[in-house]
Amino acid sequence: MPIKNILIVIESLDPNHSSGIKGRLALIKNLSEIGYKLKIYHYSQKEILLPNIECIAIKEQKISVYYLLSRLQRVFTRVTKININPFIESIFGFSFTFFNDVKSLKKTLKKERDFNPDWVLTLSYASSFRPHKALLGIPNWHSKWLAYVHDPYPMHSYPRPYDWVEPGHKFKRNLFLKIVDRAKYIIYPSQLLAEWMRSYYPNQNRKEVIIPHQISSVQSNNSIKLPTFFDEKKFNILHAGSMMSARKPYGLIEGFEKFIKKNPVAKEDARLLFIGKISCFDDYIKNKQKELKQLITNDYLPFSQVKKMQEKTSVNIVLEAKGAFSPFLPGKIPHIIEANKPILLLGPLYSESKRILGESFNNWAEIDDVKSVERIITEMYFNWKNKIENNNYSKVKYYLSKDYLKEQFNNLKE
């Protein structure tokens, strides 16, 4: 089979930009390793090099009405301390910066002449759809267009308990309708997410392709040091990542607290660690720390350190929102599967994480089921104490691997 060309349009290649970018970089790396020839246009606003891949940095267009309006808006906000962007988006659907960024992307992409792509892949993260919007303006690529969608879009499409309604959501819905209509395929990282979005956009049926977040083999860096508060000889239960308001840690903390009280032997061994940016639960956690010395928190750490902690911890936690179901595949799933440590999954019965872990996965409880959390932690602790290992993630590892990725791309019909 001849080597296929994939042209990729992505907003940023900077791994420090967001956790979503790390996931997109893993996908790009694996596409390159399975034999595709890649050419990337990115809007990182700086030069970025990737091994064996041509990367072209798109410059922001500064001779533009949208550019002028966006800068005037910034000056107005800086002087008055009033954010008028919600008002602007309610009228136009998007910010002036968004429109100028899209125009900058489209202008550069239209100059592409030499690559002759078999596929054009637009990569989004969160609710940023700039590459997608730019591709809508290049009709000759629509028959080759693979539109990647990471989360429900617009944000008002999120399932409960999320209740976000953003300004201009009708404009954003119309944008997604156009993307679904004109793209060849819509790529989702989650099967449940694809099914959920189909309920809003039934015309995407038969265009859905599931490509989960990727395990990307990175050589272990022995020079990375663990933070001083992390003792790898302890029974560490680690939650790494931000906690949105819907992802409540109360059941986890209270279940851990009951475990400590019922098992005094664990007081010196066990630790529950939360690593990530400040959240709305900080006051609650700080109050708990006064009586629960085994509860440890730390602000943001570099990804390299967090990944090493995930590899050295006793238990990795996936914490999801309380709801009927969770269609999201967390970006950290590949890292904790690769770490091959026991996983404690707290979330709905119907969740993408639970689906891929399989029916035989037992370390699961509803987020507020304190009794079950206590029971599972107790079992995990004594397994750790007795050096019993029963992790088997072979099926999940394959599902998140470049071999499965290759199968999915080979099945695409031009």
Q: Residue 166's pLDDT is what?
A: 86
Burial 202-230 (b: 16+ CB within 10 A, else e): eebeebbbbbbbbbbeeeeeeeeeeeeeb
Q: How far is CA 7 from CA 55, 154, 209, 253, in A?
A: 10, 26, 18, 46
At which of 177, 211, 245 does a domain end?
211
Q: Residue 274's pLDDT is what?
A: 95
Q: Residue 390's pLDDT is what?
A: 83
Length of the chain: 414
Return the bridge partners of 317, or none. 344
292 and 204 belong to one structural domain: no
Range of the domain at 176: 5-211
Q: Residue 220's pLDDT is what?
A: 57
Whether 409 is covered by a domain: the verdict is: no
Q: Residue 106's pLDDT is what?
A: 96
Q: For 57-118, give the DSSP string.
A: EPPPP-SSHHHHHHHHHHHHHHHH----HHHHHHHHSS-HHHHHHHHHHHHHHTT--S---S
Q: Hey, which bits of 104-169 come out as E strands?
A: 119-123, 145-148
Share of the chain above pLDDT 70, in %: 97
For residues 350 and 191, what is the distance between their CA atoms, to the nearest angstrom? 12
Number of domain units in the chain: 2
We report the CATH number of the domain holding residue 61 as 3.40.50.2000
pTM: 0.93
Query: What are the backbone dihedrals phi and psi of residue 97, each rounded to the nearest 5 degrees, phi first?
Result: -60, -40
For the chain, how long is the longest CA-to-CA vector?
69
274 and 152 belong to one structural domain: no
Residues 6+ apart with CB under 8 A from 105: 9, 41, 43, 58, 130, 131, 134
Whether 281 is covered by a domain: the verdict is: yes
300 and 361 belong to one structural domain: yes
297 and 375 belong to one structural domain: yes
**Nearest-CA neighbor of 11 among 20, 374, 3?**
20
For residues 322 and 350, what is the distance between their CA atoms, to the nearest angstrom? 11
Are 75 and 117 spatial neighbours (Cβ–Cβ below 8 Å)?
Answer: no
Q: What is the dihedral of CA 9, 14, 18, 23, to 10 degrees?
A: 60
Q: Residue 162's pLDDT is what?
A: 85
Residue stretches of the chain with pLDDT short of 70: 1, 17, 19, 218-221
DSSP β-ladder status, 37-42 and 5-10 = parallel
Digit-coded pLDDT (tens) for 125-141: 777 899 999 999 999 99
